[in-house]
Structure formats: structure tokens, C-alpha cells
A and B are shown apart, each in its own frame.
Chain A
Amino acid sequence: MQKVKVSLTVNRKKYNLEVDPDERLLDSLRDRLHLTGVKEGCSIGECGACTVIIDGKAVNSCMVYTFQIDGSHVLTVEGLEIDGRLDPLQLSFIEHQAVQCGFCTPGMLMSAKALLNKNPNPDKEAIKTAIEGNLCRCTGYQQIIEAIEAVVKKDGSE
């Protein structure tokens, strides 16, 4: 099968990939790079489980062809951990018990991360807006919002 050549930086590492012409970023990340933290829920943009950050923006990876983002920087939940240290958001999710079954968690974290990168001091409304595209069937959202708020507060007091 003829492939399309794409180069991507994923979690700070450069990859030259040859992808199928009908391959979504979700497929490339999971099946080629084995980044299975990226989850497939609905496949049509509704649930946010597949959320990754492309060039600073939260994006559903089920809604993008890999060939479309040649040259881009992609961050997945695996890339939040640096040198064995978890991201403050991850620590806060653990501390606030914002994880139950965990299926929505990688997507939630990436939406929250995209928000904090742009706006380190979001209010509660901004937090809710940032995760409005991420469905969680378990937690009722409260703990997730608290976990994100706690990171914001900690940041502010430093």
C-alpha cells in the first residue's frame, strides 16, 4: 500500500512516519507509536477521550488525519511525565481522587493542560469550559474540577 510520509514531534521526540492515507492521528499514536494512553471512545468528536495537544491546542485525535498535521508538535498524556516526575495535574488528579475507571482521564488531563498553558490562572468557569468536550461517566466532574483548581491555587501562591 502506498504510504504518505509525515514527520511529527511527539512528546518531544521526532518521528518520520509512513502512514496510510486514511489513518487518523488516533490510529498513528496508538498503533504505530503504542501510545495507548490516547483512548478511543466515540470516534466522532463527542467524548474527548482521544484528546491530545497539537501545537498548543487541545484537539480530538479521532478528528484529524495524520497526513494533515505534517510538521506539528503533538503532546499526549505519556508526555506529561518528565524524567519520571508526574505533572502537577496528574498528582492533583490522584490526590483529589479525580480518577475512577480512568478512561476519560488522559483526555481530561490534556484539556486541562492546554488550558493552563494558555491561562495559568483560570477561574472555575474557564475550567468548566476547557473540559466541556470531555465526558466522564464516573466522577460527576466535581473531583476533576477540584483537582484542576488545586493546581491553579498552588501555582498562584508560589
Chain B
Amino acid sequence: MKKQSKGVKDRPRISGKDFNQYKYFRPKSKKELIRIINGFQEDLTIIAGGTDLLVANYQKLYEIKNWLDLNLLDELKNIKMFDDKVEIGSMVTHQRLSKLDQIKELFPVLHQAAADVGSPQIRSRGTIGGNIVTSSPAGDLLPPLLIYDAKLKIISGEGSRVVDANEFFTGPKKNILKKGEILEKIIIPLKEDIYKGAWIKVGKRKALIISSISLALNLSMDRSNLIKKARICIGSAAPVPLRIKTAEQAILKEELTKINIEEVAQIVSEKISPIDDIRGTAKYRRQVALNITRKALSEVMNQ
């Protein structure tokens, strides 16, 4: 006799009669993956680490009929270094991002954000691809990806396309991905400039917390130590991770030590469009936006 675990008892189970319609695919190569997407017309639920899916669907997992599990696709687990870019497979976990020295060296803000996700148990399963496709405004890897000008390679039965991460997100939990499309990898361009970056995540406690607000900052310095490119992105304070372009413009070509911190902080605080929710009020978020912008800029000045 199979005992039902607590909390599961109300969950209807798949009846034997229906199950013949249910399918479970576990491709081992990209070729096989494409063949499945092309050959299967019904809805397919893509599962990576499952840490978002199992929570979102806990009460109605039985409704999912056809699974496409990406866990055996080693091609999607690679991190490849080139002279001018780094490619990160969508199935790379937060744990790997937070442990790899190369990521720490090249993209410290992404590295830090991955280390701050959830808990060791969540980091060992949760993937960068799942974080992107869930497209939560509070997704912690999204602001870091935007400040490094990441691009996303999307594949489908029809071919592939590459889009700017900045254009991928269209609203809370919404993005441009179409049915039958898979996020294959994240491409981050590498420049010879010196980067100075900061990551700040604000939440009610340190572990296992969804960000109330977050900030990712990256400044590229030119040879005479002027700011050549600036990227400031705020998470959890708008429907999508939001680059504050007016603030970025305001500090271009400045010397780092001469940045008007107060002016930048004011712009950031005005440009976000926060809401009231259980993690904080809009007013609170605007105030915290001021504080974390000040803090991030002072941090990079001391780097």
C-alpha cells in the first residue's frame, strides 16, 4: 500500500486510463531534442532543475502531460571560453556559476548573484536557463546578465535566433519565447576593458529569500581611467529587470572619483516603477534604491 505524503493527499493522481497519453522525453543530444520538438504537436513542459516548476505546479503537477527533460543534454551544460566571448549553457547550475574561478574573475557580479540564490540545495539544482525563462522580476541572475550585455541563443525546430537579454523580458513572468523554443545558451561578450562591478541584494534575511530589490552595476574604464561604458540594472522594482539608462548616461566619460553619487541615486530612485507587495512597499523600495545606488557606487570607487 502506498501511503500518501502530507500535502499530497488532495492532489489527484493520474489514472491508469489516461496515462497512455502521457509522454516523457529525455533527449541526449541537440539533434534528438530538435527531432522531438518537431515531431510532437501537443504541449510539452520543459523541465530543467525543476525548482521553479515544482513550486508553481505543486498542487497541479498531475495536469502536466508531456515532459521534456533537459537534464541529459550535456551540450547545454558547457561553459566555453573564447577570446571575445564566454558561452554559458542554459543547464549550468547556480552552484557551478558560484564556484568557478573563471566566472568570478570575468563576471564577478554574476558570480556573486549566483552565490546568493536560495540555498545550497536550490543552487545545486536550479539553472541559469530556468532563472531566465521563469522571467521573474526578482530573478537574481537577470540584472547581472543585463549589465554584461548578454545575448541569448534560442533554438527551435525552425532554426535559431540570438536576442539581447535586454529585449527578452516583456513583463512579470513573461518573455518573447514562443512555443517549441528552447534557450540553448547565454553569450557574454568579452572586452579588454577593465571592469568594476557591484552586486547588492536586499531581502529580509540572507538565505532563502526573494529579493525585495537588487542592483547590479558594471563600469568599463578606458585607458585614461574614464568611464567608457556604464550599466546599472535594478531587479524586483519594475515588471522586468530594468536598466536605468539616464543614470548610465549621466556618468559617461566621468572620472570615477568625480561621479555625483547623489544625482545618480536620485535618477535610479525616480526611474524604477515599484509596487507594494509582501516584500515591501513601493515607497520603501524607492528609499532603498537610493541607498543601494550610493553603496554600489562607493564600492566601485574603492575597487
| A and B associate | yes
A residues contacting B by CB (< 8 A) are: 1-2, 4, 20-22, 24, 26-27, 30-32, 40, 43-46, 48, 51, 57-60, 62-65, 67-68, 111, 114-115, 129-130, 132-134
| Chain B residues within 8 Å of A68, by CB | 47, 50, 69, 71
| Chain B residues within 8 Å of A114, by CB | 120
Per DSSP, are chain B's interface residues mostly helix, strand or loop, or mixed? loop
- Cβ of A45 and Cβ of B118 under 8 Å apart? yes
Nearest-CB distance from A62 to chain B (Å)?
Answer: 7
Nearest-CB distance from B137 to chain A (Å)?
Answer: 19
> Is the interface on chain B under 10, 10 to 19, 20 to 34, or 35 or more residues?
35 or more
Select from chain B the residue with minimum beta-carbon distance to A69: B71
Nearest-CB distance from A151 to chain B (Å)?
Answer: 18
CA A65 to CA B49, docked complex, whole Å: 10
- Verify if B6 is at the interface (C-beta below 8 Å from A): yes
Residue among B5, B49, B120 making CB contact with A27, cutoff 8 Å: B5
- Verify if B2 is at the interface (C-beta below 8 Å from A): yes
- Cβ of B121 and Cβ of A22 under 8 Å apart? no
- Cβ of B20 and Cβ of A2 under 8 Å apart? yes
CA A74 to CA B207, docked complex, whole Å: 25
| Chain B residues within 8 Å of A2, by CB | 16, 19-20, 22
- Cβ of B119 and Cβ of A132 under 8 Å apart? yes
- Cβ of A20 and Cβ of B121 under 8 Å apart? no
- Verify if B58 is at the interface (C-beta below 8 Å from A): yes
| Chain A residues within 8 Å of B8, by CB | 27, 43
- Cβ of B119 and Cβ of A48 under 8 Å apart? yes
| Chain B residues within 8 Å of A4, by CB | 24
| Chain B residues within 8 Å of A134, by CB | 119
**Known pairs A63-B122, A64-B50, A133-B207. 11 more at Cβ < 8 A?**
A1-B14, A22-B61, A27-B5, A31-B4, A45-B51, A45-B119, A45-B122, A48-B119, A57-B124, A115-B120, A134-B119
Q: Can you list 20 contacts pairing A with B, beta carbon distance less than 8 Å?
A: A1-B16, A21-B67, A22-B13, A30-B5, A40-B5, A40-B6, A43-B6, A43-B7, A44-B54, A44-B55, A45-B121, A48-B119, A57-B120, A58-B121, A63-B51, A64-B50, A129-B207, A132-B207, A133-B118, A133-B122
CA A63 to CA B123, docked complex, whole Å: 12
| Chain A residues within 8 Å of B54, by CB | 24, 44-45, 62-65
Select from chain A the residue with minimum beta-carbon distance to B23: A21
| Chain B residues within 8 Å of A58, by CB | 120-121, 124
CA A20 to CA B15, docked complex, whole Å: 10
| Chain B residues within 8 Å of A63, by CB | 49-51, 54-55, 121-122, 125
| Chain A residues within 8 Å of B120, by CB | 57-58, 111, 114-115, 129-130, 132-133
CA A21 to CA B20, docked complex, whole Å: 11
CA A114 to CA B120, docked complex, whole Å: 10
Identify which of residues 41-68 in chain B touch chain A, using a CB-to-CB cut-off of 8 Å: 47, 49-51, 54-55, 58, 61-62, 64, 67
- Cβ of A1 and Cβ of B13 under 8 Å apart? yes
| Chain B residues within 8 Å of A40, by CB | 5-7
CA A32 to CA B51, docked complex, whole Å: 23
CA A67 to CA B47, docked complex, whole Å: 12
| Chain B residues within 8 Å of A65, by CB | 47, 50, 54
Nearest-CB distance from B20 to chain A (Å)?
Answer: 7
- Verify if B269 is at the interface (C-beta below 8 Å from A): no
- Verify if B95 is at the interface (C-beta below 8 Å from A): yes
| Chain A residues within 8 Å of B81, by CB | none
Select from chain B the residue with minimum beta-carbon distance to A4: B24
